[in-house]
Amino acid sequence: MGSVRTPGSHRLLAALTLAAVLAIAAWEAGLALVGPRRVAGPQHWHAAAQAVRASFLPGDLIVVAPEWASPLVRRHLGDLMPASMVGRPDAARYARIWELSLRGAQAPETAGLPVEGSSQHGPIRLTRYRNRPVQVTFDLVDAFVQARVFQHPLAGGADGEMPCWWGGPPPGPTRGEAGGFYCRGSKIERRVMEIDYQPRLGVVVPAEPALRTVIQYESIPAAAWQGAQLVAWFGLHDYYARKTDSGPVDVVVEVGPGQDRVSVSVPPQGWHRVKLRPRSPGWVRIEVSARDARARLLGFAAELRR
Amino acid sequence: MHRCHLPLALLLTVATTTALLLAGRHQGFTRDEGYYFQAAEMHVAYYEEALAGFASGKPWTFVDRRVIDRWFSYNSEHPPLMKTLFGLSWRLLHRCRCPEERGLHPIAYLRRHRTLGLLSQGEAMRLPAAGLAGILVGAVYLLGARMFGRGAGLVAAALTILAPRHFFHAQLACFDAPIAAMMFLTTAAYYMAQTTGRRRWLVATGVLAGLSIATKHNAYFLPFVLLLHSLWARRHLLKAKDVPRWRAALRVVLAPWIGAMALLSVPVYLLTWPWLWHDTLRRFAAYVAFHLHHVHYNIEYLGQNYNRPPFPWHYVPVVTLLTTPVTTMVLALVGAVLGLAGLRRSWAQGKPDGAPGLLIALGVLWPMLLIARPGTPIFGAEKHWLPFMPFLALAAGFGYTRLWQWCSAAFALSPRQRQLLGGVLAGVLIVPPLLEVRRSHPYGLSHYNALAGGPQGGADLGMNRQFWGYAVRGLFPYLNRHAPPGAGIYWHDANLYQIQMSMKDGLLRRDLRDTGLEEPGVRASDMALVIHEKHFNKYEYWIWDAYGTTRPDEVLTHEGVPVVTLYSRR
């Protein structure tokens, strides 16, 4: 090799190659030795958690970046992070956001928000952000048990209504099967759903062949409508069901009587948001159907907010 | 061959096997091991029944279809060699308390086995895989020394096993490290047969090919790869004078190893697998069909969960880049560059040299290219192209030795200085991969290399955290201390048999109950685990629903990255 090179350049090339290989080996060995020591330990998490607890207020949100560290944060702050917070549809209702972050990561919820303060606890950066919260006047997931749930054939219009009846315990922790509305071939229940691999507290509506399932909220207080808009989110629950190659789920959201209506075709991926602006108090109706209903579990969350 | 080669190879074999066995004491049992433990005991039961038949005047018991079906029908979607070896090792070496372990074995044992009592049950099951990895390391040394010199052989041997993912798999009573070893051994025997022309290497090639396909189905592709190499390595036969061209071409194609492989591999394969002695075609077709139509598992890659084809073509190279020690890859790159630089000279000379470079290049590339096909079923990660590892290590060994020779020549070192540089360089280059292995243990599948930024970097990149549920082992001490008596545990992806082996080996309390699968299992449990993989998130949400809290009791981590999270019903 290098027979045409001068001995000097030959020597230089050999030296540079050797130095490069040794430098890479030293870098890898150094990281192998130092890397494990740079990790946030229980004492760091504990200190950061104590700092949050000292100033945490009801209505605050705790977020984690990167997301994979979430169990470590919940290990220390899980009592302040109920499923309704961790499985929130978005962060709009929270006045202050506490972000615990590693490795310079930032949660999407805090992008662009003004910083109120921050502190460092070993490798953990704790930052508090100020948010301009919306006021939720009626949460359709919380009020799920008050809804009227029924089905009717897709082909028969509104004729042939088949009611679904509540069975089992009210929503909440239980050792046995959870409660829900039992329809002809499905159960509609409130739970923490897995949509796009994210937790979402909402209502799961399995699509049924040739049937339209309707969840209708008829007893929303008049005060909740004043100046409010209806925001709803939709996605398909359960990765295993999403793996099945059936089509989208068709959803119709209607504010009535005769006010606003929107149709959404919900694909397997994503958490899709729709907004409707009611003009006066009335009812909210969510209709769910699918041309191919195999393994289609629609999940939704919705609220009136201003 | 130098007289120190064989003792050194033996030393490497014993050292590697011992290191793997010792490391394995802290390595959790995996899902697939659970199934193979069951099958292993059944295979042993077959041989015991066959031997008992001989002893009691029923010599044909070993071919009796009912006997074969009783012991071999379970897990017949995988060939038997390793399971049989696991079982024989267990039968000979385990410390037996089998009669007191009712319900923890596939067979009810009324009496203790007479054994040597040297190892725990799990260790005894794992010994053959560790031993084969040891033999692989010894063989890499021998072949590397033959191809490029002793230094190259030593460095290659060390780098073969000093790779976190290979080290992880080599501890397990599974097939992935063993098939890497078997295919290397077959390739090495083939190379020796090609370069020496000796009959014993031809026989070894045929027998090892049979044992390889009795280990795992990857080996079916090996003859085609060897044929490619053989055609190139034997091309000089085309230039033979006084031989008709067609005859010369036939001599190039019909190499002796092909005959040896064709004659010996199939009988050896059939001999190891009594299941195929009856209804052969249908059973073999069912075995092939299982793998052709294998269900697509879930694997996270760059933040996305894949469970349906097409798989990104770059999955294989990127995962390789992020999991193999960087020093090993750089040395292999140096070896490839310097090897290519020397190739022109070798071609110009036109001498038959066995084409070791081509053999190594094929050995590295074909296992990757096979899996990189977008339609190849998705059911795991780097373990499916693990056979590339010893060849990559050989390339790295070559890179080391050429770099050493080059620097020695460039600086006109004295023989003593050359020796010193060679020794120091080898030692320095082996240290980073050694540290990587130490750092990764016992969560090798959660480990990513310096390019990825370590395990946390791998998690940031959205790379698969683990599979096979082996990491639950890390929570056994906590469960042993804190679980109420008779507590019902939801074990998530850890299966019953791996939990049973943990109980048999005294790692986990016997009173803990398995509450079963899926959401009913979660709802019935007192404590529940979630093993972190992207597609498993929903299981954690089930636990939140059933327990009414998102606050875990304990989070098991690997360098700060959650691996398994444990919840208690309060």
Contacts of B345 in chain A (CB under 8 A): none
Chain A residues with CB under 8 Å of B523 CB are: 174-178
Q: What is the DSSP string of B334-364?
A: HHHHHHHHHHHHHHHHT-----HHHHHHHHH
Domain C-terminal end among A78, A99, A130: A130
What integer is the mean pLDDT of B127-141?
Answer: 98
Measured CA to CA, the distance from residue B441 to residue A134 in angstroms comes to 48
Q: How far is CA A202 from CA A25, A166, A195, B41, B195, in A?
A: 51, 17, 10, 48, 69
Q: Are B402 and B173 in contact (CB under 8 A)?
A: no
Instruction: Name B557's bridge partners.
Output: B562
Candidates B306, B519, B538: best to mutate against A (most CBs of A within 10 A) is B538
CB atoms within 10 A of CB B348: 8
A33 or A172: whose pLDDT is higher?
A33
Q: What is the ipTM of this complex?
A: 0.95
Query: CATH number for the domain including A286?
Result: 2.60.120
Both A121 and A141 in one domain: the answer is no
Question: What is the distance in angstroms between the Cα of B162 and the nearest Cα belonging to chain A?
Answer: 13
Which residue in chain A has the smallest CA separation from B459?
A68
Is A63 in the same domain as A105?
yes
At residue A70, the 3 state secondary structure works out as helix
Looking at the fold, whether A54 and A121 belong to one and the same domain comes out as yes
A122 and A146, same domain (yes or no):
no
What separation in angstroms does the CA of B9 have from each of A229, B136, B505? Answer: 76, 10, 32
Mean pLDDT, residues B215-239 taken together: 94
In a domain? residue A53: yes
User: Tokens 């696991």 correspond to what residue?
Assistant: B86
Determine the distance in angstroms separating the CA of B564 from the nearest CA of chain A, rounded to an integer.
9
CB–CB contact B546 A83 (8 Å): no
Choose the closest CB to B545 out of A66, A192, A238. A192
Residue A1's pLDDT is what?
42
A140 plus A167 within the same structural domain: yes
**How far is Cα A205 from Cα A289, in angstroms, rounded to an integer?**
9
Rounded-to-integer distance, Cα B25 and Cα B514, Å: 23
Give the distance from residue B326's alpha carbon to the nearest chain A alpha carbon, in angstroms.
7
Chain B residues with CB under 8 Å of A240 CB are: 535
Q: What pLDDT shows up at residue A4?
A: 47
Inter-chain CB proximity B548 and A173 less than 8 Å: yes
Same domain, A88 and A148: no
Q: Do B325 and A193 touch (CB under 8 A)?
A: no
Are A177 and A250 contained in the same domain? yes
**Do residue B565 and residue A71 have CB atoms under 8 angstroms apart?**
yes
Residue pLDDT, tens place only, B470-490: 999 999 999 999 999 999 999
Q: How far apart are CA A235 and CA A196, in angstroms?
A: 8
pLDDT at A256: 86
The Cβ of residue A258 has, within 10 Å, a number of other Cβ atoms equal to: 9
User: Mean pLDDT over residues A112-126, rounded?
Assistant: 97
For residue B482, count CB atoms less than 10 angstroms from its CB and return exposed for 0-12, middle for 13-18, buried for 19 or more.
middle
Q: What's the rounded mean pLDDT across residues B559-569?
A: 98
Q: A160-174, B342-356, B452-466, B551-565: which range is least confident on average?
A: B342-356
User: Could you say which DSSP state residue B512 is in?
Assistant: P
The most confident of B59-73, B328-342, B374-388, by mean pLDDT:
B59-73
Whether A218 is covered by a domain: the verdict is yes
A-B C-beta contacts closer than 8 Å: 173
The C-alpha atoms of residue A100 and residue A76 are separated, in whole angstroms, by 12
A6 domain-assigned: no
Encode pLDDT of B25-55 as tens digits.
Answer: 999 999 999 999 999 999 999 999 999 999 9
Domain extent, residue A71, equals: 42-130
Number of domains in chain A: 2
pLDDT of A2 over the 50 cut: no
For A87, the token pair is 């499985």
* Distance to chain A for B547, nearest Cα, Å: 5
Place of tokens 């005060």: A223
User: Using one digit for the tens of pLDDT, what is the confidence trace for B228-284?
Assistant: 999 999 998 988 888 888 999 999 999 999 999 999 999 999 999 999 999 999 999
Rounded-to-integer distance, Cα B16 and Cα B158, Å: 9
Give the per-residue pLDDT at A3. 44
User: Residue B347: CA atoms inside 13 Å, Cβ hemisphere, count?
Assistant: 9
Give the integer Cα–Cα distance in Å for B169 and B441: 11
pLDDT of residue A246: 86
Domain limit, last residue, from A70, A103, A130: A130
Give yes or no for residue B546 having a pLDDT over 60: yes
**Which residues does chain B have within 8 Å of residue A36's beta carbon, measured at their own beta carbons?**
439, 559
Q: Which residues of A touch B556 (CB under 8 A)?
A: none
Residue B137's Cβ-count burial label (10 Å; 0-12, 13-18, 19+) is buried
What are the extents of the domains in chain B?
A: 470-568
- Quick one: what percent of chain A has pLDDT higher than 70? 97
Closest Cβ opposite residue A36 in set B326, B439, B548: B439
pLDDT at B346 over 70: no
- In one-letter notation, the amino acid at residue B227 is L
pLDDT reported for residue B46? 98
Positive or negative, the CA dihedral B332, B337, B338, B341 is positive
How many angstroms from the chain centroid is the CA of residue B402? 29
Decide if A21 and B560 are in contact by the 8 Å CB cutoff. no
Q: Which of A1, A28, A71 sits opposite B341 (nearest CB)?
A: A1
Average pLDDT taken over every residue of chain B: 95
A56 and A83 inside one domain: yes
Percent of chain B residues past pLDDT 90, beyond the cut: 89
Same domain, A162 and A295: yes
Tokens encoding B494: 């850890």
Give me the pLDDT at residue B348, please.
Answer: 66
Report the amino acid identity of residue A167.
Answer: G
Question: pLDDT tens digits for A228-272?
Answer: 999 999 999 999 999 888 889 999 999 989 999 999 999 999 999
Do A185 and A236 lie in one domain? The reply is: yes
B429/B432 Cα distance (integer angstroms): 7
pLDDT at B300 over 80: yes
Give me B147's structure tokens: 């191809």
- For residue A156, being part of any structural domain is answered with yes
In angstroms, rounded to a whole number, what is the distance separating the alpha carbons of residues B430 and B427?
Answer: 5
A22 found inside a domain: no
- pLDDT, tens digit, 9 for 90 and up, residues A35-91: 999 999 999 999 999 999 999 999 999 999 999 999 999 999 999 999 999 999 999
8 Å CB contact between A166 and A181: yes
Question: Between helices B415-440 and B326-349, what is the axis angle to 10°?
Answer: 130
Q: Are strands A198-206 and A297-305 parallel, antiparallel or unpaired?
A: antiparallel
Q: Are residues A58 and A198 in the same domain?
A: no
Choosing from A108, A130, A152, the residue where a domain stops is A130
At B8 the pLDDT is 97
Q: Pairing mode, if any, of strands B527-531 and B488-490?
A: parallel
Furthest CA-CA distance within chain A:
94
Is the CB of A31 less than 8 angstroms away from the CB of B450? yes
Q: What residues does A215 pair with on adjacent strands?
A: A149, A286
Spatial distance between the Cα atoms of A214 and B447, rounded to a whole number of angstroms: 48
Q: How far apart are CA B98 and CA B504, in angstroms?
A: 9
User: Nearest chain B Cα to A123, which residue?
Assistant: B560
Average pLDDT on B53-75 reads 97
Give B379's pLDDT tier (boundaries 50, 70, 90): low
Flag whether A267 is in a domain. Answer: yes
> How many angstroms from the chain centroid is the CA of residue A165?
28
3-state SS assignment for residue B160? helix
Q: Provide mean pLDDT across the span A202-228.
A: 96
My answer on whether A50 and A140 are in the same domain is: no
- Residue entry with tokens 């292993």: B40
The answer, yes or no, to whether residue A288 has pLDDT greater than 80, is: yes
In a domain, A211, yes or no: yes
CA distances from A292 to A208, A239, B167, B265, B465 (A): 9, 17, 47, 50, 34
Does the residue A36 lie in any domain?
no
DSSP notation for B103-158: TSSSS--SS-------B-HHHHHHHHHHHHHHHHHHHHHHHHHHHH-HHHHHHHHH
Give the model's confidence band at B152: pLDDT under 50 very low, under 70 low, under 90 confident, else very high.
very high
